[in-house]
Amino acid sequence: MEEPSVLDYLKSKLKFWEKGNKIEIPSEEEAGTAAAEPVQPPEQPSVSAEQLETPAAEPLKRPPFDWTKFPWRALLALVFILFAQRTFEPSENRAAAPGLFLYAIGLAWLVLAFLRGEWKPADLAEAGAGSDTLRARAIPLALAGVLSVVAFAFLGNNMFTLLNVTLWLAALACFIWAFWVEQPDREPWWQRAWRTLASSEWRISITRRSLLVLAVIGLVVFFRVHNLGGVPSEPFSDHAEKILDVYDVTQGQTSIFFPRNTGREAIQMYLTVAVAWLFGTGLSFLSLKIGTVLCGLATLPYIYLLAKELGGKRVALLALLFAGIAYWPNVISRAGLRFPLYPLFVAPTLFYLLRGLRTRNRNDFILSGIALGIGLHGYSPIRILPFVVVIAILLYLLHRQSQGARKQAVIWLVILASASLVVFLPLLRLWLEYPDLFGYRAFSRLGSTETPLPGPAWQVFFSNLWNALKMFNWDDGEIWVHSVTHRPALDVVTGALFLAGVVLLLVRYVRSRNWTDLFLLLSVPLLQLPSILSLAYPGENPALNRAGGALVPVFVIVALALDGLWTGLRSRLTGRGGAILTWSLMLVLAAWSSFQNYDLVFRQYARQFDGGAWNSSEMGAVIEQFGLIYGETDTVWIVPYPYWVDTRLPGVWAGIPNRDFAAWPEQLETTLEVSGPKLFILNVEDASSLARLQELYPQGTCSRFVSETGLEGKDFLIYFVPPAAAGEQ
């Protein structure tokens, strides 16, 4: 028998599962004994010829499919609610009854699917067991108090100055220093960032999830910035007011609150100045839109984080996707007004609040208060958010999840409110100094400041509440500048999933009594209150802009519902076939939502807006051309006409944002005092003003400008007075 080689030895060691073929190296004594004794070969068992024949292997049999585990209840529920929401889409014969009937069947199947585990929303994270010592640093706290009082004293006259802003920010920094809790087991973020930057080698891992996240982000960015210059196409009067406010800032008028047009908070004005400088777009409609689109995009990371807090990473990605492509947040971001500033600060305020209550980390309440305070400088409907925060804390205190932390929760609320108060200081001073200016717009909608209420206040309120609750699935109102009127605020897929999510959260709350489920449901109508409380003008409710804060919990609920469907399907449809079916269904729903939202924004909304807005850009082009030819535009006027173009807007397109080109019919004679060539722009229906100009300037010529929009009513008249004729008058 040959001696085993080194290779044989290694093979025997690697094949650890074969017990009978081990080769051991004998010790020196054993080796000597073995050398003295002859090695006998092992006896070989006798094998017959029949035994040498290898039998054919039997094919593997897959276990039969267990139809009892097929999630047919969940799929039936999905089909019924999708068809139900589809019947709510605008049409000539739209009626609520068929859709309600289908919804009743679908939601009944949904409850059964939930009880059988076929549609399972993600479990909420367990509350932390941490405790707060409720201590603060005395010296920074005293400094914060003193600096806040001094800053408040210097924040008068509705004006930001270098001194009062420095004092204000120093007070906020001291407040944070006083209450911030160091995390000894966690490296500060700036140290982690510095360590990463200082590292000589960076490693980037690409996974399927990271590719999916990048694809979602790319799709969302496309929806938010595609054709931004053309949708919406024209500004209207509110934009003229905003551009004048921005112009005032460039002239050194750094207001805390801008009183023009019933008053506006300051963030958009300073943001637009930064955008105009950074992108070189000047004081223009495009600058306004770029700024508000950036605000809309900045909301999405916090929607992601809030959804992750409530359901995990997959829920977060679904919320990011559907909120990013949805027509409602897209349109209010593109409008170029302050509308997206409401959800922008609702999202971080709620995220830090809910995370803080779960983890019992005081720092989150400081951050929540700062987000709330900054938001109060953005868009007036966010003034409802402090009440939403208080209601959240009350719900938390009334549920078992707050056991052992109820006293701390009250202190956390005080810290949150104090942080927001420090940030709110400039507006607080303005409120006390000019109370009518600060609250006029809100009270003009809530009470009878401008017009009597159309009925008893309680009746109007409940009527508005019902109309607001219907806006997601039935009718989003009649305000054409920021919505496709009289259709659901959500597309078919998200509308159906939103109602499914509402039902799932209700059922789960009944079973588990977790306060977060109840708060998530109640936060939707609470954040709609700025629209609901339009008691004096109920026709302005529902309004997608004033209810914009509600989109934050709405899309989290949508994501929770879809993730529950995913989880239920994957738990029942195992293997590769189940994965393919689940992924296919999710891709179909995402594609359906994407195509419909694209149509809503870039076709329906664009077409509707073009029909309602006046083509001030074409008038601006005429003015700009006149200036290029004759070297001046001081002799250009627009004759106002009822329900026609805002005479300040053509100047914005012509690069003259601070001039109103209006020359009222009774003022036309005063233009005789001005020499040089003259140009008048008139409405095609204004025959009396045209006749008056022909009397004043008989050598003038009138031509009709045919609008390139091709829409009826967009043409206008140009009355041109040549230099010689103007000089003879």
Q: pLDDT digit string (tens) for 358-372?
A: 999 999 999 999 999
* Predicted confidence (pLDDT) at residue 599 exceeds the cutoff of 90: yes
pLDDT attached to residue 36 = 47
pLDDT attached to residue 560 = 97
pLDDT attached to residue 86 = 97
Are 638 and 663 in contact by the 8 Å Cβ rule? The answer is yes
Kindly report, residue by residue over 48-88, the tens digit of the pLDDT: 544 545 455 555 555 555 556 789 999 999 999 999 999 99
Kindly report, residue by residue over 537-583, the tens digit of the pLDDT: 999 999 999 999 999 999 999 999 999 999 999 999 888 888 999 99
Pure H helices in 47-188: 49-52, 72-87, 96-115, 138-154, 162-179
Cα 608 from Cα 606, distance rounded (Å): 6
pTM over 0.85: yes
Burial state string for 625-647 with b = 16 or more CB within 10 A and e = fewer than 16 = ebbeebeebebbbbbbbeebbbb
pLDDT tier at 34, thresholds 50, 70, 90: very low
Peptide bond into 542 cis (omega under 30): yes
pLDDT tier at 729, thresholds 50, 70, 90: very low
pLDDT attached to residue 52 = 46
Kindly report, residue by residue over 369-379, the tens digit of the pLDDT: 999 999 999 99
Q: For residue 518, give every residue at least 6 positions away whose Cβ sits within 8 Å of its Cβ, in sequence order, or none.
A: 395, 399, 509
Q: What is the mean pLDDT of the segment spanning 192-196?
A: 78
User: Could you say which DSSP state residue 159 is in?
Assistant: B
SS (H, E, C) 92-114: CCCCHHHHHHHHHHHHHHHHHHH
SS (H, E, C) 322-348: HHHHCHHHHHHHHCCCCCCHHHHHHHH
Cα 377 from Cα 371, distance rounded (Å): 10
697: helix, strand or coil: coil
Kindly report, residue by residue over 479-537, the tens digit of the pLDDT: 999 999 999 999 999 999 999 999 999 999 999 999 999 999 999 999 999 999 999 99
Q: For residue 266, give every residue at least 6 positions away whose Cβ sits within 8 Å of its Cβ, in sequence order, or none.
A: 160, 255, 256, 257, 258, 377
159 forms beta bridges with 255
Q: For residue 709, give every residue at least 6 positions away whose Cβ sits within 8 Å of its Cβ, in sequence order, or none.
A: 610, 615, 618
* Predicted confidence (pLDDT) at residue 159 exceeds the cutoff of 80: yes
pLDDT attached to residue 127 = 76
Kindly report, residue by residue over 144-158, the tens digit of the pLDDT: 999 999 999 999 999
Segment among 286-295, 347-356, 438-447, 700-709 with least mean pLDDT: 438-447
φ, ψ for residue 156, nearest 5 deg: -90, 175
Residues making up the chain, counted from first to last: 729
Exposed, middle or buried, 437 (CB in 10 Å: 0-12/13-18/19+)?
A: middle
* Predicted confidence (pLDDT) at residue 191 exceeds the cutoff of 80: no
Cα-based torsion angle of the residue sequence 326, 89, 475, 378 in order, rounded to the nearest 10 degrees: 10
Q: Which helix (H) or strand (E) holds 265?
A: strand 264-265
Q: What average pLDDT does the chain have? A: 90
Which phi-psi region, left, alpha or beta, contains residue 117 (left: φ > 0; alpha: ψ -120 to 50)?
Answer: left
* Predicted confidence (pLDDT) at residue 32 exceeds the cutoff of 60: no
